[in-house]
Amino acid sequence: MSSDLRTEVFKNGFTTVLVGLALAVYALLISGVTVSYVEAVSACTTWPTCDGSWMVNVSDTDVLIAMGHRLLSVIVGIGLVSATIWSWLNAVPRKVRLTLTGVVLIYPLQVAVGALTAIHGGSTAISGIHLGIAIAIFMGTMVALLFWLEWETRAVQSEYVSSVRQEPTLDGDEDATSVATSTPSLWAYVQLTKPRLMWLLCVVALAGIGLATVSSGVAITWQMVTGTLVGGVLAIGASGTFNHVIERDVDQQMDRTARRPVPAGEVPPRRALLFGVGLALSSMIVFISLVNLVATLLALLAIVFYSIVYTVVLKPNTTQNIVIGGAVGALPALIGWAAVTGSIGVPALVLGAIVFLWTPAHFYNLALVYQRDYQAGGFPMLPIVHGEGVTHRHIVLYLAATLTAVGFLAATVSLGWIFAVISVIFAGVFLTAVVNLYRRQTRPAALVTFHTSNIFLGMIMLVIILETIVF
């Protein structure tokens, strides 16, 4: 085997090891939270054995969960030590070695706190410390993976911006429409509402409703659900329509948006504006009639934030437009919770944080693909201003932050083992796509990551809905 081939095999193998470790640590974090919430700690009150015995009752679900978590902690510990030793014995960057070493050094503390929890019970303080250390270990493994990817791909030439002019596309949340006609079609007005955004934001709102019913004990009603979804769809439609009107001149400069209804001349700006106002007023009427005042005010905030704060202030003026703008995507979680309780609770804020942190990891993929378009439109997107390398780094870090927020949610509300399993599986799918993007740096890889991020968030929200509303 040639030296170059051996080097490539090693790099591929070590990348796989680090991805597997990060996912295993995340699974350990989620399983630990699940153990606390199903009160599996009380099923095994000694450590490392269960009630003084290595033999466990396999028919007792709580015992299996508790011992499964302990077994996973052993596997993760062995994996971390092995990867750290491997890094010191091979040509691995110093930053990676030191990061892994730091994780290994704090891992025994996590085990000790876990043992203390098992023996003396999980007080709020001890559980908080246990969760905090688990998050630190997870973030450490993700940072080690990031350092390794930066070193491994240092010579890779990206292929996001091709030499040919980019054609309009339906990828993402932008919509191309038919050529201009003298009479606006019904479909043109539908396109103004950005319907591709609606399904995901609706499931976020439903997840907020589900969490609120579990936490507050308030029974769900069809009036509550219908009002929230219909009002929410109208609010999203109003926001999208205002965005079309405000950005109509810029949209003409961008291939992917030039055939939108307003810049293409299919819907006059005045009619589009009146249509948006009608949608916004209808949304307010639905919310105030069928839901409550708090949800109404939050929906109004969402319309104003997206139409004015994001579209007018953030998007054309700062590279942090996507990050700060992610707050509007978090509002449906608060609206769903408020529809049930008339207030805003901690679980709703955590659910909103998941969407907020997910947004950059999701949308930066389109920013990479459509750099030329965004540059033509004068938008200071992150890859244009700070480069593709910085964008890749932010995608990895925001993914890590998103997964951490999912862990916080599991620590805030009892969601059960189904949520734990689904979140780990689709975290693995999302993480694999992001690593593949980092290594390939191509348009297809970025679009796959974009769509994978949608699937990830959709599945997280769907399992919350199933566990809190359906089951």
Task: Output the pLDDT for position 422.
Answer: 95
Omega of the bond leading into 48 within 30 degrees of 0 (cis): yes
Task: Output the pLDDT for position 271.
Answer: 94
Task: Output the pLDDT for position 386.
Answer: 94
Q: Which residues of the chain have pLDDT under 70?
A: 1-11, 36-43, 45, 51-62, 118, 120-124, 162-184
Domain with CATH 1.20.120 in the chain: 3-152
The helix (run of H) or strand (run of E) holding residue 176 is none
The helix (run of H) or strand (run of E) holding residue 181 is none
Helices (H), 2-123: 3-37, 61-89, 94-120
The two structure tokens encoding residue 386? 């700070």
Residue 302 has φ and ψ, to the nearest 5°, of -65, -45
E strands present in 310-381: none
What does pTM read for this prediction? 0.90
Instruction: Find all residues with CB under 8 Å of 159, minimum gap 6, and list them.
Output: 441, 442, 443
User: Dihedral of the CA atoms 405, 411, 414, 417 (nearest 10)?
Assistant: 80
d(CA 299, CA 53): 56
Tell me, rounded to whole angstroms, the distance of Cα 255 from its chain centroid: 28
Residue 157 has φ and ψ, to the nearest 5°, of -95, 120
d(CA 299, CA 166): 36
Tell me, rounded to whole angstroms, the distance of Cα 65 from its chain centroid: 26
Q: pLDDT by residue (tens digit) across 310-354?
A: 999 999 999 999 999 999 999 999 999 999 999 999 999 999 999
Q: Using CB atoms within 10 Å of the CB of residue 232, give its burial: 0 to 12 exposed, 13 to 18 middle, 19+ buried.
A: buried
Task: Output the pLDDT for position 43.
Answer: 64
The two structure tokens encoding residue 160? 């996001």
Domain with CATH 1.10.357.140 in the chain: 186-470
CATH topology for the 3-152 domain: Four Helix Bundle (Hemerythrin (Met), subunit A) (1.20.120)
Q: pLDDT by residue (tens digit) across 132-150?
A: 999 999 999 999 999 999 9
The helix (run of H) or strand (run of E) holding residue 394 is helix 388-412
Q: Is 425 helix (H, G, I), strand (E, B) or coil?
A: helix
Tell me, rounded to whole angstroms, the distance of Cα 305 from its chain centroid: 20
Does CATH number 1.10.357.140 belong to domain 186-470?
A: yes
The 8 Å CB, 24+ separation contacts for 61-66 are 62/38, 65/31, 65/34, 65/35, 65/38, 65/40, 65/417, 66/35, 66/40, 66/41, 66/118
Task: Output the pLDDT for position 127.
Answer: 75
Task: Output the pLDDT for position 115.
Answer: 77
Q: CA end-to-end span of the chain, whole Å?
A: 56
